[in-house]
């Protein structure tokens, strides 16, 4: 098995409005592979990509307009 072909991060992660504000790395990622935390804007398009690791986030559902962002 070639472990170098295994991505360090998931290629796509689905999140719900309850997960906002979105940041990467997310809590489910392996702590040995973390990079600096970056907040990602996903509310307008429903998608965002982390500039550090390339993880693609997809928003499932509609954000609550009363939700406050950090």
Answering whether pTM is above 0.85, one says no
pLDDT score at 13 = 93
Residue 51 has pLDDT above 70, yes or no: yes
Nearest to 41 by CA among 14, 59, 66: 59
Q: Residue 10 — very low, low, confident or very high, per pLDDT cuts 50/70/90?
A: low
Average pLDDT of the chain, as a whole number: 81
**Residue-wise over 1-21: b if at least 16 C-beta within 10 A, else e?**
eeeeeeeebeeebebeeebbe
């Amino acid at each position: 098995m070639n472990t170098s072909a295994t991505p360090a991060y998931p290629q796509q992660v689905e999140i719900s409005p309850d997960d906002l504000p979105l940041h990467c790395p997310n809590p489910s990622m392996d702590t040995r592979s973390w990079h600096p935390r970056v907040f990602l804007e996903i509310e307008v398009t429903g998608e965002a990509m982390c500039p550090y690791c390339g993880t693609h986030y997809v928003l499932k559902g509609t954000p609550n307009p009363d939700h406050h962002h950090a």
